[in-house]
Amino acid sequence: MRRREQREHVFKLLFMTQFNTEKEMQDQLTVYFDNLGEVDEKDKETIEQKYRHVMEHLAEIDQILNDFSRGWKTSRMNRVDLTALRLSVYEMKYDEEVPTGVAINEAVELAKVFGGEDSGSFVNGVLGKIASGKKDSGEEPKKSHRPTHKARIIIRSSKKSPKETSEESTDQK
């Protein structure tokens, strides 16, 4: 099974957690894997392990999402978008095998397939902010400037002012 397929299964399991208690999820995992059909045991282990790791870091992941998404706290987000974001933030922050760009692209694709019309662009925007490290607080980050000096600049012109010209002409008389 390819990683993309494994990721999709993890996504589905994470989505299910929003509708089931922790105790119910134990039974749901068993049912889910029983209904997968012919899947290599190694793939099942990989899917379940990644699902459990995301769940272990869920509070930290949600905090990151809340810090970077202005006006869209996790409690207000579409559940599909939230699930794609959670999985991607986990991969970006805790899974060293997944490059940031891949984590973002895969989350956008999941959001497009399972979410609404604007899900892909929403997920991409939030993850782009997280990847760049720019929190959307409405303020521009302060830039560090070099100290300025207080030297005065004097501009001299070869042209003489009208006053100087009239004084010279009276001196010559």
Instruction: Please report where in the chains the tokens 């892909």 appear, as a residue.
Output: 120
For the record, the structure tokens of 142 come out as 């302060």
Cα separation, 47 vs 41, in Å, equals: 10
Q: What is the pLDDT of residues 130-169, one digit of tens each?
A: 998 866 544 444 444 444 445 555 566 565 555 555 555 5
What's the domain range around 31?
Answer: 3-132
Asked whether residue 153 is assigned to any structural domain, the reply reads no
Asked whether residue 114 is assigned to any structural domain, the reply reads yes
Domains contained in the chain, number: 1
Asked whether residue 145 is assigned to any structural domain, the reply reads no
Asked whether residue 164 is assigned to any structural domain, the reply reads no
Asked whether residue 13 is assigned to any structural domain, the reply reads yes
pLDDT level of residue 170 (50, 70, 90 thresholds):
low
Asked whether residue 144 is assigned to any structural domain, the reply reads no
pLDDT level of residue 14 (50, 70, 90 thresholds):
very high
Give the CATH number of the domain where residue 48 resides.
Answer: 1.10.940.10
Is pTM, for the whole model, over 0.85? no
Helix ranges (H only) for 69-118 are 79-94, 100-114
